[in-house]
Amino acid sequence: MIHVNNIHKSFDGTHILKGVETQFENGKTNLIIGQSGSGKTVFLKCLLGLFMPEEGSISYDGKIYKDLTPDEKRNLRQEMGMVFQGSALFDSMTVAGNVMFPLEMFTKQSKSEMQDRVDIVLKRVNLIDAHHKYPSEISGGMQKRVAIARAIVMNPKYLFCDEPNSGLDPRTSIIIDNLIKEITEEYNITTVINTHDMNSVMQIGEKIIFLKNGLKEWEGTKHEIFKTDNKAVTDFVYSSDLFKKVRQMYIEEKN
């Protein structure tokens, strides 16, 4: 579990995060949504330990990050997996090489142990026959699955995803959403996802945080978001006519 306690973050006198407070439970997909400039990316980087809040604190299973020693912070970061927006694969490395990279950097495992672990995670993301291919030789959806495999190869406690569906078609996006949710539940990971994809919100939003101008405007589940009367949330989530109709159908069905 990650507990966020009243964090504030500023840059050059501009107040970006203004007392955000929430918690993210393990075994659940926790989504952060909001318009561009709402503070989502800064918030995610604070969770990753890349930015240090000026006020407040972030704790990971009871360990307050700012109170940790440098070695303890380094160890905590190794318990974090990250799926980047553009997958961020190394073009010069094979699929297996990309997935093995964190193991080579941060563990003392033998080559055979690393290969066994790579085999396990590539099988888990349904890429059994892709070991020797290069990123340029596989589709965008496959690249995203490689990125997920790399993120979980070290058995992280915490998984962070920045726009994991960026650039993917709707069908592939659903596959990636379901894969992230399955892995979260299977390994009991605390998963936090930054997204603009409202399909993801409706599909896997077990907990949703809506940020607006650096403030936590609303939080709830994918079911509660249908019923909220918070105008800022409904204007953002139901900005298209299609989603407005979906919401109306949901409300009518429940009534």
2-79+158-254: which CATH topology?
A: Rossmann fold (3.40.50)
pLDDT score of 155 more than 80: yes
* Structural tokens at position 50: 């890349």
Burial of 130 (0-12, 13-18, 19+ CB in 10 A): buried
What would the pLDDT profile of 55-82 be if each residue is shown by its tens digit? 999 999 999 999 999 999 999 999 999 9
Residue 242's pLDDT band, with cuts at 50, 70 and 90, is low
User: Directed axis angle between helix 95-106 and helix 111-124, to 10°?
Assistant: 130
- Average pLDDT value for residue range 114-121: 96
Q: What is the pTM of this model?
A: 0.91
Q: Is the dihedral of CA 207, 68, 156, 187 positive or negative?
A: negative
pLDDT score of 239 more than 80: no
Residue among 38, 29, 66 at smallest CA distance from 160 = 29
Q: Other C-beta atoms within 10 Å of 99: how many?
A: 29
Parallel, antiparallel, or unpaired: how do β-strands 29-33 and 207-212 relate? parallel
The domain segmentation of the chain, as residue ranges, is 2-79+158-254, 89-155
Residue among 206, 179, 221 at smallest CA distance from 27 = 206
Residue 244's pLDDT band, with cuts at 50, 70 and 90, is low
Determine the pLDDT at residue 28: 95
Residue 144 CB partners (closer than 8 Å, separation 6+): 83, 87, 164, 165, 168, 172, 176
